[in-house]
Structure 1
Amino acid sequence: MDDAAPAALESRPAIEGERDSRVALTPAAVELLRLLWDLHGPLMFHQSGGCCDGSSPMCFSAGEFRTGGSDVLLGVFDLDDDAGARLGEIEFWMSREQFEYWRHTHLTVDVVQGRGSGFSLEAPEGKRFLVRSRLIG
């Protein structure tokens, strides 16, 4: 889909040799991540190529989802609170298999109303993260 919402925060590139961001957050995603950080502490994202909610970005407490050689670190967000004080880093991981399909896209993490996966930290908030994408050269 090529309907990426405006980005509020771009990630730092994490793939060796790349200079441009591959992942961004919308203002709504930043706001929800600040709330989740207050509730759960440091966070991370992982997106797999699974069925159902497995194809949505899942938000976990940092380190709760174990990553390894079958995952690619796409980017790292430097999250600040609404007053500009630094909260910390949020890594965005994707399964290597999924990355092979999405390697030519820039992803924007957005938020919509509704319940996503029970494993993702935003589920109790009545919201869910989703990815909007656009092709990159």
Structure 2
Amino acid sequence: MDKLQFQAMQRATAAHTARQEGISALGEVVKWAIGKLGEHGTELQVENELKRLEPEIQRRRPKGGGVLVRIGLMEWAAPDFMGDRAQRFMDIAIVGTGMDAGTVLRQYEQMDHLLAGPPDGWRRRDSYMWVTSPEHHDEIKPLTLD
């Protein structure tokens, strides 16, 4: 191979690498955009599920107390290039009732749970809401039950 052929091959390899890097960066941007759209969809799903559970929440809520609701989400196991993790809705459940959110949450955490797991490449994240009236939802700091 002469010098001109070698230089042509180097330029072709560099151009191919640049195209691959460009495609990879574009793929990351598309993945990020889809994740952001998914987050909005996830919020809507959670709102709709809370509305669906509202009659049961009100039926089970003790007078002067509240209902602990677990919201199960799955998120990417590894963050994207921006450090974000796309999230998707998994499930929602009433997990306890009582007069004090902290007490009900501690009782729930001490029990064994059989929860659906996420697919490969995802991990489960649960957060909790303390519902004390139809108009008032106090979010409790999200916790991880790994």
TM-score, reference length from structure 1: 0.30
| Greater helix proportion | 2
| Greater strand proportion | 1
Query: Of the two structures, which has the highest relative contact order with CA contacts closer than 8 Å and spacing of 6 or more?
Result: 1
Larger radius of gyration: 2
TM-score, reference length from structure 2: 0.29
